[in-house]
């Protein structure tokens, strides 16, 4: 039996989970949870990375005797270090508007052919271009998990699954795209040595001697490890603040159709490719609750379930839903702008959000299948969204295939599994890891009910766009 700590950092909260892995055993328990989120200071929105490190250390200590520790987090954001290894400033939040209007002198087709990444304004490439002269003082760029690993061990490096989200990584050669970086004005010296998931980064300074292991440090990469699939024909949705919906491929899909549909090819554990698209996710719902100053999500979901389905739908990925703010007003405005009657109650508005999210899942997964020529006969929803029964039922109806929901703690479980293998557990491949997840974790099954005219809703939304 191996006992490890999985540090899982999300955009709204972080936690340290203690995980135990052995023959027919896989358990995780929360040791410490702490808030996370943007900190507005002057004109910029930052992450409190020092607070995250403090909480990480506290959680590792509270977890007790451990065989290892691994860190995963959201993607694209980073810290800059000077030649002494000192942090040059708090990492800027990807929702900060500094990348608005930023361009790079590389055609989109060439960018995609090298990196395989969906064009998003907050990709690391654009954030670094937005730094301007600040890059002159920087010696190294470290993504958030790599930065915390560096502070734990003193070892500089970049884990591949997260490096693949930067739009500075050659997805076929599995190296940094240094010539692309030069053309964009980014010094190649900023790009640290690459590591595979499962590499021992080094020994922690505190607690002394604890092995620190590079896991699938992009939280979605860890979550996909723990998708309890029993065969190859599955789709997945890692559902949280963001939803990442797609297929697992053996090699990148870099066709014109994939570029036109804005799909991304991110590295996965064991050399796989996560062919997916970012969907706005439960961010819109959480911001709605914040605007209403309520935490009664169960009551709102009951009201949403009782509201007419598909009465109004919006493009949940529209740019107006990206920044923080008054989501209910934005949704109403989007409905009015597209000739639809805005939701007249809170329950109806939550139903609009969830119907629109399920419709985005359907659109994304069907496009992924058409582009790759693959099929899927089940959709696995992992992460926090697996708890949302109404969303899971709507997704089954929208996609027309069964939804298997769970595990909720997929990112932590995938983190723990990669650590356990690095420490000697007999988990030779993803199939064996997923078999252990199926054997030990709760998964809920939702069959399509046939309710709702999703084709008509999709056509209506297409006309609105």
The three-state (H, E, C) secondary structure of 269-325, written as one string: HHHCEEEEEEECCCHHHHHHHHHHCCCCHHHHHHHHHHCCCCCCCCCCCCHHHCCCC
94 three-state secondary structure: coil
Burial readout 97-110 (b: 16 or more C-beta within 10 A, e: otherwise): ebbeeeebebeeee
270 is catalytic: no
- CA dist 150 to 157, 267, 269, Å? 8, 22, 21
Q: Give CA–CA dist 137/13, Å, rounded.
A: 31
Q: Give CA–CA dist 125/410, Å, rounded.
A: 28
Q: Give CA–CA dist 153/211, Å, rounded.
A: 9
Strands (E), 74-121: 78-81
CB 89 within 8 A of CB 80: yes
Indicate the length of the chain as a whole number: 465
Which one from 67, 72, 219, 355 is the annotated catalytic residue? 219
Residue 129's nearest CA partner among 73, 180, 194, 193 is 180
Q: Give CA–CA dist 451/464, Å, rounded.
A: 23
Q: Give CA–CA dist 32/272, Å, rounded.
A: 31
Active site residues: 219
């Amino acid at each position: 039996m191996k006992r490890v700590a999985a540090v899982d950092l999300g955009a709204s909260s972080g936690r340290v989970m203690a995980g135990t892995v052995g023959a027919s055993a896989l358990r995780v328990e929360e040791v410490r949870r702490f808030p996370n989120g943007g900190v507005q200071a002057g004109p910029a929105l930052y992450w409190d990375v020092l607070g995250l490190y403090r909480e990480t250390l506290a959680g590792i200590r509270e977890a007790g005797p451990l065989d290892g520790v691994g860190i995963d987090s959201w993607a694209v954001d980073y810290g800059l270090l000077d030649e002494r290894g000192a942090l040059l400033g708090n990492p800027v939040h990807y929702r900060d508007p500094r990348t608005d209007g930023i361009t790079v002198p590389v055609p989109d087709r060439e960018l995609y052919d090298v990196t395989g990444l969906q064009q998003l304004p907050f990709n690391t490439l654009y954030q670094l271009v937005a730094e301007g002269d600040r890059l002159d003082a920087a010696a190294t760029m470290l993504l958030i998990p790599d930065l915390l690993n560096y502070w734990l061990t003193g070892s500089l490096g970049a884990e591949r699954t997260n490096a693949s989200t930067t739009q500075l990584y050659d997805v076929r050669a599995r190296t940094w795209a240094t010539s692309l970086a030069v053309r964009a004005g980014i010094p190649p010296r900023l790009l640290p040595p690459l590591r595979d998931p499962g590499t021992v980064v080094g020994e922690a300074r505190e607690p002394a001697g604890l092995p620190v292991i590079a896991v699938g440090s992009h939280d979605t990469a860890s979550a996909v490890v723990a998708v309890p699939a029993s065969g190859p024909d599955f789709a997945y949705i890692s559902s949280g603040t963001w939803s990442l919906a797609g297929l697992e491929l053996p090699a990148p899909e870099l066709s014109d159709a994939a570029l036109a549909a804005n799909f991304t090819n991110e590295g996965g554990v064991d050399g796989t490719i996560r062919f997916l698209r970012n969907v706005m996710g439960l961010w819109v719902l959480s911001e709605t609750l914040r605007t209403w100053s309520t935490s009664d999500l169960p009551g709102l979901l009951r009201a949403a379930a009782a509201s007419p389905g598909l009465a109004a739908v919006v493009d949940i990925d529209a740019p107006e839903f990206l920044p923080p703010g008054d989501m209910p007003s934005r949704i109403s405005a989007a409905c009015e702008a597209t000739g639809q009657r805005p939701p007249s109650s809170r329950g109806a508005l939550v139903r609009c959000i969830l119907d629109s999210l399920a419709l985005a899942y359907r659109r994304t997964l069907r496009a992924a299948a058409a582009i790759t020529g693959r099929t899927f006969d089940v959709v696995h929803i992992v992460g926090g969204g697996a708890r949302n029964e109404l969303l899971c039922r709507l997704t089954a109806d929208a996609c027309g295939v069964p939804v298997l929901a769970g595990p909720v703690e997929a990112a932590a479980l995938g983190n723990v599994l990669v650590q356990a293998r690095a420490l000697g557990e007999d988990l030779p491949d993803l199939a064996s890891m997923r078999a252990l997840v199926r054997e030990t974790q709760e998964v809920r099954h939702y069959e399509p009910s046939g309710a709702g005219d999703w084709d008509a809703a999709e056509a209506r939304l297409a006309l609105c766009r």
